[in-house]
Amino acid sequence: IQTGRSLRHLFVIILYYCNLSHSSHLWEAWRHQICDDLRRQLSHIPHYQDRQFEDHHIYDYGLYLLNKILMEFGDDLSKYPNMPLPNSPDDDGHQWLDLANNPILASQLQYNPQELQNRVDRSYQQFNHEQKAVYDAVIESINSGNSRMFFIHSAGGCGKTYLCNTIAAAVRAQGYIALCVVSSGIAALLLDGGRTAHSCFKIPISAHEDSVAGITHQSKMYEVLHHTKVIIWDKVPMQHKHSILAVDKCLRDLLDKRDCPFGGITVIFGGDFRQTLPVVPQGSRQDIIDASLCQSILWNQMSRFYLVQHMCLEQSPESAQHAAWLLEIGAGRNLGIDGSFSIPADIQCHTMDDLTNFIYSSIQLSQSDQYFLDRTVLSSRNDEVDDINAAILERFPGEKQFRRKACSYRC
């Protein structure tokens, strides 16, 4: 007994190799058997679970899967005049999705549209005018299909991540895909559904000017890209321009839009050039600058926005002053001839007591969660972290209490 899956592959082999004069007759005669497993398959896909499909929908989905198999041969149903072509499951313009066999695609469409839309509505009301300007421009590009590129220049704390997550939610609420990637693994945790750019786009480790990302027409990522409306690429200043151009060349070819950057997908780049730049082994200052995105052929085609209103410092003049000093250093101002800078005396601590008194001056009076959320001490060495934590714990009121445990095993 042949299953629907094996019959679909057999039908494609007959179609491709046997030069049928009336292939539609064969389809009409066997379409029920070819599609006999598809209704159950669709019922197990979260994206389609709430839909009631008629027979013509099931047959249409079968044609879609046949076309996918043909594409693996470098062919498609449009080259067979007698064969019907797949349409879509409804009238909203969305095409069929092979979610059962593509876990990457399924994971990108597992969101609840209503919850996302409610979140977008709340977030938009909280945006400042800078964030609203970016959001409106990006959504207009996505809805109009203009496939623009944007760069959001933002220092830490100016609301870029919050904005990008809201844009991604707005796209996903419409049933489309927003790919969120970053240039480092830790930063990927901040974006909803975030991944590293190298993992998502199969960027070569040692990219050069002729490199192309490793996504092929046969890969599962290919179908994901066909349903992607926006790519959000954060921390991009630390990415070598050759890696970015490798993705651009790949998408132009995959999506068959060689004159459109990134194959016609709207792209949002984000980051701060005052932070980490691309690593160029043994490279000079000029080599590092030349490796940056701002030196690529794509840079002048981007619409650039600046987020400068710091969301975390509005209530603290001292913190705002410190942030301004950091930005001055990042901009290359107030530096010595050799690139060195002087730390202001009012933020220097020379002993452990000075440090703990400065950061946790009221630790014996305040036990609120917010007090500790507003304070932290960073160090590059684990032994220093242990010493600092021990010194701070000594300042807690009350006596130490020890709780001992014992483990036993029974065989």
3-state secondary structure of 230: strand
Q: Are residues 89 and 169 in the same domain?
A: no
Q: Are residues 284 and 378 in the same domain?
A: no
Please list the rounded mean pLDDT of every run of 10 residues in the chain (411 residues): 83 91 92 91 71 88 90 86 80 62 79 91 96 97 92 92 97 93 88 94 94 91 91 96 97 94 97 91 93 96 93 69 82 81 86 88 78 86 92 80 73 58
Candidates 67, 80, 113; CA nearest to 226 is 67
* Helices then strands, each counted (H, E), the chain: 16, 6
Q: Are residues 160 and 225 in the same domain?
A: yes
Q: What is the DSSP letter of 344?
A: P
How many other C-beta atoms lie within 10 A of the C-beta of residue 362?
7
3-state secondary structure of 134: helix
Q: Are residues 294 and 369 in the same domain?
A: no
Convert the pLDDT of each residue in 42-85 to its tens digit: 876 666 767 788 898 899 989 989 988 898 788 889 889 889 99
Q: Are residues 86 and 117 in the same domain?
A: no
How many other C-beta atoms lie within 10 A of the C-beta of residue 406?
4
| Amino acid making up residue 226 | H
State the pLDDT at residue 408: 67
Domain boundary among 251, 276, 307: 307
Dist CA 22 CA 18 (whole Å)? 11
Residue 254 lies in a domain: yes
The answer to whether 97 and 61 have CB atoms below 8 angstroms apart is no
The answer to whether 231 and 267 have CB atoms below 8 angstroms apart is yes
Q: How many domains does the chain have?
A: 3
Q: Are residues 92 and 124 in the same domain?
A: no
Q: Are residues 165 and 276 in the same domain?
A: yes
Convert the pLDDT of each residue in 122-133 to its tens digit: 999 999 999 999
* Tokens representing residue 399 in the block: 């006596």
Residue 160 lies in a domain: yes
Residue 315 lies in a domain: no
The answer to whether 269 and 302 have CB atoms below 8 angstroms apart is yes
Determine the structural domain holding residue 129 and report its residue range. 113-307
State the pLDDT at residue 157: 83
Domain boundary among 307, 333, 360: 307
Residue 333 lies in a domain: no
Q: Are residues 162 and 271 in the same domain?
A: yes
**Residue 38: which residues within 8 A CB-CB, separation 6 or more?**
4, 58, 61, 62, 65
Residue 178 lies in a domain: yes
Q: Are residues 44 and 180 in the same domain?
A: no
**Residue 166: which residues within 8 A CB-CB, separation 6 or more?**
119, 120, 123, 124, 127, 135
How many other C-beta atoms lie within 10 A of the C-beta of residue 332?
9
Residue 119 lies in a domain: yes
